[in-house]
Amino acid sequence: MKIKLQPSQIKIIIVWMLLLVVGGAAFYFFYYNSQADELSRTEQKLEIEKQREKALKQAKNEQEEMDEITMDDLLVQLPEGLDEEAFVQSIERAAKKRNLVIEEYLFEEPTAVFEDKEIIQQAVTLNGQANSTRAIEQFIHQLESDVRIIQVSRMTYQEQDADDIGFQAEVIIYGTGELVNREDGQEES
């Protein structure tokens, strides 16, 4: 028994096959392809989150290591007294490396930071000249990375001409010992 299809039936079968192919292609492009793109974006987000988590863990570990530094560890870095001469020498060395000229040092009266730990501080204003802002930035960075604890609390500069920049930096130096009143040489209590 032979089944013979009429031309209209063949056309209907071809139309159905074309509809299946077009439907499959539409399914692929509109649903499957968009799902694959969504999966790719989600994988990228996951990778970014993994990197963020790794960075946060690393930062947390570094913070825990920093927390382990005790006050006694910091006290070791502080000189006995304020040692202004050594401070001026370190400033002059740093200025010489960066081709800066420190014109004036203004030392304020020392103050006590922690009475029980006998930590004292002194604000010092540095007035100077430089040939570039980059040199000033490198100078400040060198001060902040010095072995001695020096805090730069304020920094201003003013361009006077193309090769001359005036700057003023207020730094705070720290030391250990008791606060001495400079007027009469007596220790304050």
| Count of structural domains, the chain | 2
Q: Say if 25 falls within a structural domain.
A: yes
89 and 13 housed in the same domain: no
79 and 154 housed in the same domain: yes
59 and 103 housed in the same domain: no
The segments of the chain whose pLDDT lies below 50 read 182-189
81 and 163 housed in the same domain: yes
88 and 171 housed in the same domain: yes
DSSP string, 102-159: EEEEEEPPPEEEETTTTEEEEEEEEEEEES-HHHHHHHHHHHHTSSS-EEEEEEEEEE
| Domain end position, chosen among 16, 48, 68 | 68
Q: Which domain holds residue 56?
A: 1-68
pLDDT in tens, 83-103: 788 889 989 998 999 889 999
39 vs 52: CA distance, rounded Å: 20
Q: Say if 185 falls within a structural domain.
A: no
Q: Say if 183 falls within a structural domain.
A: no
Task: Burial-class residue 128 by CB neighbours within 10 Å (0-12, 13-18, 19+).
Answer: buried
The answer to whether 119 touches 78, Cβ cutoff 8 Å, is: yes
